[in-house]
Structure 1
Amino acid sequence: MSGRMVAVHYIESGAGTPLVLLHAFPVDARMWNPLRGRLEEQARVITPDQRGLGESSLDGSTARGMLEAPVGKLPVDRPSVDVAAADILELLDQLELPRVVLGGCSMGGYVATAVLRAAPQRVAGLLLVDTKAPADTDEQRANRLSVATRAEEEGISGWLADSMLPNLLSASTRERRPEVVEELRALIEAQPADGVAWAQRAMAARPDSFVALRAFGGPAMVVVGAEDSITPPSAAREMVDALPRGELVELAGSGHLPSMESPEALADAVLPWLAGIEV
């Protein structure tokens, strides 16, 4: 295989329909663990750590337990969701999966739609969780770049989790489920600062995704937490309106990360939908 090698770490369990789930920022594949056990009797659940986060390398080095996959000629030094999408496509090739049901939460949704732009034939079904289709506004882009610079200069300890937790989890989760708050804080604190910076710059540079969504004729489910303040239900409805076969699920009491806040409700929505998809 030619091209730059990039190490992609992933967690896999279960059997059945191949379901690839891409995680949010600034965490890793472990955010899907509360959901995994509820899906794995029906699905082969594959959750990669995206480039630079979790146990996946940013620079292409290989670590224990990682699968090497070439990322071709895309420039790694230019952060882009297209590079992250190429990582996922190469992982699918390595796993010999020509088609999968592809899901993504938040940043994972941005990467999922980048996969859709690059190789729609690989996507048998699309699951978008608490994400959005428009590109960033100038203000949002500037905020991301500021976080990226601070992460590189100071690291992330002591400020990133504190700044993001109030928006990532619903008020009810924060008030009544301190164990979820602490689990999420630990996931955020575990991320490498350079991967955080790279991911923020990649998201800041991402294009609008409405054209790709309108062109996708397969089954699509859009899930949103009713208390999500980052990508609210209005953003979910915009995506459903763009998708020819889109359906909307709104989860009461959940914020931006329903796989951690409402895994039972999320599984109850996903499993019947998944059962109707032929891969």
Structure 2
Amino acid sequence: MAELPLILLHAFPVDARMWDPVRAPLAARLRLITPDQRGLGRTPLPETERAPSLDDAARDVVALLDKLGLERAVLGGCSMGGYLAMAVLRLAPERVGGLVLIDTKASADAPEAAENRARVAERAEAEGVAGWLAESMLPNVLAERTRTERPETVQALRELMDAQPPSGVAWAARAMAARPDSLDVLAAARVPALVVVGEDDTLTPPEAARAMADAVPGAELVTLPGAGHLTPLEAPEGLARAILTWWDRHLAQE
């Protein structure tokens, strides 16, 4: 049987370029697919009257699998990408051959978090996103060490955020706010799973990662020291090594 591909789903509010620091080592070993999610990067936001929902983004992922002729894939996601991976698992578990959950969580938004996402969506639609969105998010998504010692990473992330279409940012914020708790979906999963978290991640902290790892039978948990919420940018070598080591143990013979 051919080895499964790895689909990596990006975080909010960026696009698939966030995977560039881990692209070379992963693509050297695996078939790597990194789509832009609807409304972000180069993927347009479909016209619809339905309320924003990650269920629709999950259907996009299943449609991508169909287009590529793939029965199953390993789904990996960082932050919002992890929420989307869990939405795909809920929608079409038979298409998921493994999970890589990076700096994300299974719980739904608390009311105050959902309200904050609504404010972000409204401001994005009213003002665009350049400047203020990155300014408000950078202190939360990057570890202090990254912000003080790696200005090139900070600048690259700022440019990624500034480049996103405001309509896509607004849609994604509202879709995340509406997502359900997914611990039940993880508990029902019967696939190899890896959970990775930055040691200094304050948005989806190590205890949230532990809850996911505990939910999935046989899941492995890796904590990356010195990294915050965006380990693909902050600790790319450690993340790539964690994925490939786990892959060799659980999926190399698939």
TM-score (normalised: structure 2): 0.96
1:53 to 14, 34, 40: 40
Which residue is 2:189 aligned to? 216
| Structure 1 stretches of at least 4 aligned residues deviating more than 3 Å after TM superposition | none
Which residue is 1:25 aligned to? 12
Matched AA of 1:191: Q
Which residue is 2:201 aligned to? 228
d(CA) in 2 for partners of 1:155, 1:41 = 38
Higher alpha-carbon deviation: 213-222 or 16-25: 16-25
Unaligned 5+ segments in structure 2 are none
Question: Cα deviation per residue 1:117-146 (whole Å; 9 max; x = unaligned)?
Answer: 011111111000000011111111100001
**CA shift for structure 1 position 241:** 1.0
Which residue is 2:81 aligned to? 108
Query: Alignment RMSD, CA only?
Result: 1.3
Which residue is 2:154 aligned to? 181
Which residue is 1:84 aligned to? 57
Does the residue aligned with 2:135 lie in a helix, a strand or coil? helix
Does the residue aligned with 2:31 lie in a helix, a strand or coil? strand
Matched, 1:121 2:94: yes
Which residue is 1:271 aligned to? 244
Does the residue aligned with 2:121 lie in a helix, a strand or coil? helix
Could you say if the C-alpha distance between residues 209 and 91 of structure 1 is closer, same or farther in structure 2, counting changes exceeding 3 Å? same
1:110-149 equivalence runs, <5 A? 110-149=83-122
d(CA) in 1 for partners of 2:218, 2:3 = 23
Does the residue aligned with 1:21 lie in a helix, a strand or coil? strand
1:37-52 equivalence runs, <5 A? 37-52=24-39
Report the structure, 1 or 2, having the larger helix content.
2
Aligned length: 251
**CA shift for structure 1 position 41:** 1.6
Matched AA of 1:153: A
Question: Cα deviation per residue 1:150-201 (whole Å; 9 max; x = unaligned)?
Answer: 1101111120000000111111111111000000000000000010000000
Report the structure, 1 or 2, having the larger strand content.
1
Could you say if the C-alpha distance between residues 76 and 220 of structure 1 is closer, same or farther in structure 2, counting changes exceeding 3 Å? farther
Which residue is 1:194 aligned to? 167
d(CA) in 1 for partners of 2:62, 2:16 = 17
Asked if the contact 2:125/2:166 (under 8 Å) is kept, the reply is yes
Asked if the contact 1:76/1:83 (under 8 Å) is kept, the reply is no
Asked if the contact 1:28/1:49 (under 8 Å) is kept, the reply is yes
d(CA) in 1 for partners of 2:173, 2:199 = 25
1:253-268 equivalence runs, <5 A? 253-268=226-241
Asked if the contact 2:4/2:72 (under 8 Å) is kept, the reply is no
Which residue is 1:160 aligned to? 133
Does the residue aligned with 1:133 lie in a helix, a strand or coil? coil
**CA shift for structure 1 position 265:** 0.5
Matched, 1:241 2:228: no
d(CA) in 1 for partners of 2:194, 2:3 = 19
Unaligned 5+ segments in structure 1 are 1-14, 61-74
**CA shift for structure 1 position 16:** 5.5
d(CA) in 2 for partners of 1:86, 1:100 = 14
**CA shift for structure 1 position 217:** 1.1
Asked if the contact 1:16/1:42 (under 8 Å) is kept, the reply is no
Identity in percent: 60
**CA shift for structure 1 position 17:** 3.7
